[in-house]
Amino acid sequence: MLRADGVFQGGGVKATAFTGAICRLEEEGMMWQRLAGTSAGAIIAAFLAVGYRGKEIKKIMYELDYKKVGNMTAIKKFPLAKKSLGLILEKGIFSTTYIERYLEEAFKNKGKTKFKHISLNKESPLKIIASDVTNKRLLILPDDIKKYGIDPMELDIAKAVTMSISIPFFFTPIKIKYMDKEAFIVDGGITSNYPIWIFDVKDIPRWPTFGFKLGNGENLSRTIENKDFISYIMDVIETTIDSYDESYLRDKDKIRTISIPALGVKTTEFNISLETKEKLYKEGYEKADEFIKKWDFRKYIRSYRI
């Protein structure tokens, strides 16, 4: 049996690759202890936290109708005025209603819809990263939701995940009203797209933290074309979220990270084909296979924790 905490980077539709990695680790008897994620990585972490297995998550991700999530092909046909109106009135072009309801149903099928359903002694094994752009701060959910007068244990898991995936301007932000104030919550990738640090302790850990990260070299090579203003904004936001530089990863983080090539797929490429999904899944499986064959927890402890 293999025990570990799992941390999943944000990456939009590219997160399909994580299911391949999960399936490979489950072949080694993986038992997840704690889980965390940002944006699409939060979706994967949440599915695992409520009890789904890798193959089940793969099926759910494949059945998700991405065109209902965000159809960029259709939006590009809209007049600039219509797109601008959505940004001005709703602070985003696409609604998160479909994805939130989809997640709610998936969690309901496991009988675990609120954080209290997966927690022990009011401590959640699942941590979701989101960003409060009104107060300019990173949020770790469910813990930080108490800042808004909400009981962390009563927070819907689907709501927390939806907060984390709400890419600014692309999706309408989640608005929280508290006291006589309001705050807009958006994609966690704005503040921490790869929270590999979240379960670190000062002493020697009982088990490792495995990080799941999407390679971004091919994405960074894409140029921002001469487009209309709204499309330009989308590209700028996506570049900001996608361009987490691997050079910022410390050696102790690189060695515990399964880095999976993204095959040039963009975060908001919601017209992704089944063939591309399969390629991403295969990449995830193969990279996890390479990783687990080399992983040595004792060596990691000797090198980085003593």
- Per-residue pLDDT of 221-268, as tens digits, reads 445 455 566 667 767 777 776 665 555 788 999 999 999 999 988 887
β-bridge mates for residue 120, sequence order: 123
Structure-token match 């819809």, residue found: 113
Question: What pTM did the predictor assign?
Answer: 0.90
Distance CA 109, CA 59 (A): 14
Task: For residue 32, name the pLDDT band (cuts at 50, 70, 90).
Answer: very high
Write phi, then psi, for 182 (nearest 5 degrees): -145, 150
Among 5, 144, 187, 242, the active-site one is: 187
Give the Cβ contact number of residue 26 at 10 Å: 16
Mean pLDDT of 172-190: 94
Among 5, 39, 144, 166, the active-site one is: 39
Specify the pLDDT at position 215: 80
Distance CA 122, CA 4 (A): 21
Cis omega (within 30 of 0) for bond into 142: yes
Distance CA 92, CA 50 (A): 30
Least confident of 5-19, 156-170, 183-197, 247-261: 247-261
Look up residue 133 and give its two tokens: 């752009």
Catalytic residue flag (residue 253): no
Q: Per-residue pLDDT tens for 7-24?
A: 999 988 999 999 999 999
Q: Which domains does the chain have, with CATH numbers?
A: 2-304 (3.40.1090.10)
189: closest CA among 37, 5, 54? 37
DSSP string of 140-209? EETGGGGGGT--GGGSBHHHHHHHHH--TEEEPPEEEEETTEEEEEEEGGGT-S--TTTT--SS--SS-E
Specify the pLDDT at position 227: 57
Q: Is the pLDDT of residue 76 over 60?
A: no
Catalytic residue flag (residue 259): no
Q: Per-residue pLDDT tens for 82-128?
A: 555 555 555 677 889 999 999 999 999 999 999 999 999 999 999 99
Radius of gyration of the chain (CA): 19
Q: Show the CA angle centred on residue 285, arms to residues 216 and 194, nearest 5°.
A: 40
193: closest CA among 50, 74, 36? 36
Distances in Å between the Cα of 196 and the Cα atoms of 37, 122, 151, 217, 256 are 9, 23, 26, 20, 9
Mean pLDDT of 214-225: 54
6: closest CA among 256, 244, 260? 256
Distance CA 262, CA 273 (A): 14
Specify the pLDDT at position 217: 46
Give the Cβ contact number of residue 223 at 10 Å: 6
Task: For residue 68, name the pLDDT band (cuts at 50, 70, 90).
Answer: confident
Specify the pLDDT at position 219: 44
Q: Is the pLDDT of residue 157 over 50?
A: yes
Identify the sign of the CA torsion 33, 36, 41, 43.
positive
